[in-house]
Structure 1
Amino acid sequence: MHVAVLGPAGFGGSHLVQELLTRHEYDVVGISRHPDKIGKHDRYTPHALGITSASIAELIDAFKSVDVVINAFNPPYGPSVYKTFVETMRRIVIAAKYSNLQYFLTIGGTGSLYLENPTNPHETAADSRPFWLAYRRATADSEAATYHMEERIGFGSPMAQGMRDYRIARQASLSNPGSLSEADRKLIDETERAVMEGPDPIPDIPIAARASYMFFDGNTTFPWSFVSPPAKYIPGPRTGKYEVHIDRVPLAPESERTQGSENEFDGRLLGISVADLAVAIVDEVEKREKVGKHWSAVAELPGENEQHPSYARLS
Structure 2
Amino acid sequence: MVTKVAVLGPAGFGGSYVVNELLNRGSYDVVGISRNPGKIGKHDRYTPHALDITNATIAELIEAFKSVDVVINAFNPPYGPNVYKTFVETVRRIVIAAKHSNLQYFLTIGGTSSLYLRDPATSYETAADSRPFWLAYRRATADSEAATYHMEERIGFGSPMSRSMRAYRSARQSLLSNPGSLTAANRKVIDETEKMVTEGPDPIPDIPIAARATYMFFEGNTTFPWSFVSPPAKYIPGPRTAKYEVHIDRVPLAPESERTKGSENEFDGRLLGISVADLAVAIVDEVEKREKIGKHWSAVAELPGEHERHASYARLS
1:269 aligns with 2:261: no
**Equivalent residues of 1:3, 1:66 under 8 A apart:** yes
Give, in angstroms, the shift of residue 35 of structure 1. Answer: 0.3
Over residues 57-86 of structure 1, what are the superposed CA-to-partner deviations in whole Å (9 max), with x where a residue is unaligned?
Answer: 000000001000000000000100000000
1:176 aligns with 2:150: no
1:236 aligns with 2:225: no
User: What is the TM-score when the length of structure 2 is the normalising length?
Assistant: 0.98
- Counterparts of 1:13 and 1:192 in 2: how far apart (Å)? 31
1:290 aligns with 2:292: yes
What corresponds to 2:314 in structure 1?
Answer: 312
**Equivalent residues of 2:5, 2:28 under 8 A apart:** yes
What corresponds to 1:93 in structure 2?
Answer: 95
Superposition misfits of 4+ residues, deviation over 2 angstroms: 117-120
**Equivalent residues of 2:145, 2:306 under 8 A apart:** yes
- Counterparts of 2:120 and 2:40 in 1: how far apart (Å)? 45
Over residues 222-267 of structure 1, what are the superposed CA-to-partner deviations in whole Å (9 max), with x where a residue is unaligned?
Answer: 0000000000000000000000000000000000001111110000
**Equivalent residues of 1:39, 1:314 under 8 A apart:** yes
User: What is the TM-score when the length of structure 1 is the normalising length?
Assistant: 0.99
- Counterparts of 2:173 and 2:50 in 1: how far apart (Å)? 43
What corresponds to 1:246 in structure 2?
Answer: 248
What corresponds to 2:282 in structure 1?
Answer: 280
What corresponds to 2:212 in structure 1?
Answer: 210
- Counterparts of 1:44 and 1:108 in 2: how far apart (Å)? 24
Q: What aligned pairs does 1:1-150 form with structure 2 within 5 A after superposition?
A: 1-116=3-118, 121-150=123-152
Q: Structure 1: which 5+ residue stretches go unaligned? A: none
How large is the RMSD of aligned CA atoms in angstroms? 1.0
**Equivalent residues of 1:4, 1:69 under 8 A apart:** yes
Give, in angstroms, the shift of residue 303 of structure 1. Answer: 0.6
1:200 aligns with 2:202: yes
- Secondary structure at the aligned position of 2:140 is classed as helix
State the aligned residue count: 315
Q: Give 1:191's match in structure 2, choosing from 190, 193, 196.
A: 193
Cα distance change on mapping 1:119 and 1:220 into 2, 3 Å: closer
- Secondary structure at the aligned position of 1:52 is classed as helix
Which amino acid in the other structure matches residue 238 of structure 1? R
- Counterparts of 1:165 and 1:120 in 2: how far apart (Å)? 39
**Equivalent residues of 2:58, 2:94 under 8 A apart:** yes
Which amino acid in the other structure matches residue 278 of structure 2? D
Give, in angstroms, the shift of residue 144 of structure 1. Answer: 0.1
Q: State, as a whole percentage, how many aligned pairs show the same letter.
A: 85
Give, in angstroms, the shift of residue 49 of structure 1. Answer: 0.3
Give, in angstroms, the shift of residue 154 of structure 1. Answer: 1.5
- Counterparts of 2:120 and 2:287 in 1: how far apart (Å)? 33
- Counterparts of 2:180 and 2:19 in 1: how far apart (Å)? 48
**Equivalent residues of 1:113, 1:124 under 8 A apart:** yes
Over residues 188-219 of structure 1, what are the superposed CA-to-partner deviations in whole Å (9 max), with x where a residue is unaligned?
Answer: 00111110111000000000000000000011
What corresponds to 1:166 in structure 2?
Answer: 168
- Secondary structure at the aligned position of 2:53 is classed as coil
Which amino acid in the other structure matches residue 212 of structure 2? R
Q: Structure 2: which 5+ residue stretches go unaligned? A: none
Give, in angstroms, the shift of residue 180 of structure 1. Answer: 1.1
- Counterparts of 1:56 and 1:118 in 2: how far apart (Å)? 33
**Equivalent residues of 2:108, 2:228 under 8 A apart:** yes
Give, in angstroms, the shift of residue 176 of structure 1. Answer: 1.4
Give, in angstroms, the shift of residue 152 of structure 1. Answer: 1.4
Give, in angstroms, the shift of residue 159 of structure 1. Answer: 1.2
